Amino acid sequence: MFTGIVESIGEVVHIVSEGTNKTFTLQSPIATEFKIDQSINHNGVCLTVVGVELDHYRVTAIEETLSKTNLGTLLPGSKVNLERCMPANGRFDGHIVQGHVDQTGTCTYVEERDGSWLYDFEYDASTGNITVEKGSICINGVSLTVFNSRENAFRVAIIPYTYSFTNFHALKAGDSVNLEFDILGKYIKRILGSYTA
């Protein structure tokens, strides 16, 4: 389980295709603390470490993951938000994040506003996912608060720290992002749906 509070940015240095899978080699200052079989959140996607060497490590994404996330668009040099699993004695600084991306969305608008940034996103609402005003959303592994919630779109505000220390500073209109909708909202929607059916 994760919290959506990004610890570090990793950089993709090498990609190898193996059948329908892709193995990514990334460099990160926190990679020296990783262990094989450890789960790491990559842009919101939980992947297992399969190799570690100094400040480089490897993870493999299967076809299912590549088809439902933006990991398949990564290239050498791409920046990736990283978070290790929350320790049992840790604080919940964000919200419950599973690392299981529900779908991708598209950034449609970016505006700098007096030291902070506004980002608008759209997604395919036919999948049944929803946002609520002042609810939580995980975008590329970052826990954020939704506003201007609509059926297939929403807005978030980014503070300077988040802008600088995540890959939001590289995000522009037209870019694809990984979205994980709030797990509590998904359960409530499922329960209410069974009562109204």
Euclidean distance between CA atoms 5 and 166, whole angstroms:
10
Q: Is 25 within the bounds of a domain? A: yes
CATH of the domain at 137: 2.40.30.20
Question: Of the candidates 38, 143, 136, which has an alpha carbon nearest to the alpha carbon of residue 87?
Answer: 38
Give the range of the structural domain holding residue 51, as residue numbers without chain letter: 8-84
147-157 as b/e: b if 16+ CB within 10 A: eeeeeebbbbe
Q: Is 60 within the bounds of a domain? A: yes
Task: Identify whether residues 183 and 112 lie together within a single domain.
Answer: yes
Task: Identify whether residues 117 and 155 lie together within a single domain.
Answer: yes
Task: Identify whether residues 117 and 74 lie together within a single domain.
Answer: no
pLDDT in tens, the chain (197 residues): 898 999 999 999 999 999 999 999 999 999 999 999 999 999 999 999 999 999 999 999 999 999 999 999 999 999 999 999 988 787 777 888 989 999 999 999 999 998 899 999 999 999 989 999 999 999 999 999 999 999 999 999 999 999 999 999 999 999 999 999 998 888 887 787 766 65
Task: Identify whether residues 23 and 59 lie together within a single domain.
Answer: yes
Task: Identify whether residues 41 and 120 lie together within a single domain.
Answer: no
Task: Identify whether residues 118 and 185 lie together within a single domain.
Answer: yes
**50: its two tokens:** 């399969």
Euclidean distance between CA atoms 184 and 197, whole angstroms:
20
Q: Is 166 within the bounds of a domain? A: yes
